[in-house]
Amino acid sequence: MNLLAPSGRRSFLTGSVTNEAREFREQPGLFSKLDAGSYKLMSPKLYFEAGRNYVRYGPGYSGSMILSDNSPAFDMLHFRKDISFGKMIGKILIDQFIASFNDFGARRYLVGRRYEKTLSSQWNLAVNETAKTSKEPNPLILILPNYLYQEIIFNDDDETFNSLYSLDVTYTTRKKEQAYLEFAADHIAMPNIFGGDRFDTPRKIGYLLGVYLPDPLKTGITSLRAEYVFVDPGTYERMHEALPNLAYTRKGLVMGHPVGSNGTALFLRGEHWLNKKTQAIVEYFDRSPRDSGSPNALDFKRLDAYIAYDIRPWASLSARYIRLKDAGTENTIMLGASISY
């Protein structure tokens, strides 16, 4: 159930109560029935949100390399504003948030910032940074880039602050077809000759390549999407055995792309309108390990099929079929039905 209640001329309260995560997520016990709820203020000059909600950075549909909805929603403060940097650079949309959550009994904080620039009617570019920290953030985190903040406040202390960085680029044609890329790097360390990381830091990167075709059959009722995801072993995980608390996870769930560490995946999605009120959706997700000898060498295939019927403009009824097959195991089949209003 989704709630929307105006509380002013440009502000409103929102809420979402659902058991979908509890039924279909990897660790359903970590998700609340009150999936999200927040106060939002929206104006031409500022977006502000306070409460519980998800944040996604990047164009990926199966998940974002740096920040997606794979883990539960965050209790947070969230801001978004266009800022002009002069005639040469122009306006840049800056989105940032600060969140707090409990992680295995300890208080942790997540901060994030996105710099997004529309280069033309076809090209869009964004740079993102997030950080998980075990110390309450200084207000300077709202001003300083993460790397500089870590140098000044924590003296490059990796035991209390773990940063991720990503870049995403989207190209859109006149027919609304899209090609997009996300590239993420986990824990960029300063070289030792400059007094940097005291631990050896292996390469920990990931990327996502995607294509979206809104009308491949020229019928106006069918769309297709394909994505390929690659993630190095060790990405999203703890930086060192001595630092288990700063893995880029929340109670074991990755806060980045759900493919997780040490994986490659193919994601396919097709949507087709059967009539004006009924839509069929099929998704296929095929994950395999990049290195079968490393941890998290998960190997599985998942097929999701949905039928959704719009009862009213504000209400819909859906049925869902899921088939999951792990390497060397039998098929697991799940059936479900839901109503949204």
pLDDT, tens only, 159-185: 788 889 999 999 999 999 999 999 999
For the chain, what is the radius of gyration of the CA atoms? 21
pLDDT at 195 over 50: no
DSSP string covering 18-37, please?
A: -SHHHHHSSSGGGS-SEEEE
Q: Where are the alpha helices (DSSP H) in 3-118?
A: 20-24, 86-89
21-79 tens-digit pLDDT: 655 566 666 777 777 788 888 887 888 898 888 899 999 999 999 998 888 889 999 99
Residue 243 near residue 226 (C-beta atoms within 8 A):
no
Residue 248 near residue 162 (C-beta atoms within 8 A):
yes
Distance CA 319, CA 330 (A): 23
Sign of CA dihedral 297, 259, 208, 332: positive
The mean pLDDT of 77-87, rounded to a whole number, is: 92
99-109 tens-digit pLDDT: 999 888 889 99
> Which one-letter amino acid corresponds to residue 49?
E
Residue 29, phi then psi, degrees to nearest 5? -65, -15
Give the predicted TM-score (pTM) of the model: 0.87
Question: What is the total residue count of the chain?
Answer: 341
CB neighbour class for 131 (10 Å; exposed up to 12, middle 13-18, buried from 19):
buried
Choice between 42 and 297, residue whose per-residue pLDDT is larger: 42
Q: Supply the pLDDT for residue 267.
A: 98
| Sequence spans of domains, the chain | 1-45, 54-70+77-217+233-255, 262-341
Residue 74 near residue 52 (C-beta atoms within 8 A):
yes
Q: How many CB atoms are closer than 10 A to CB 258?
A: 22
State how far the alpha carbon of 143 is from the alpha carbons of 34, 78, 94, 97, 140, in Å. Answer: 32, 14, 11, 12, 5
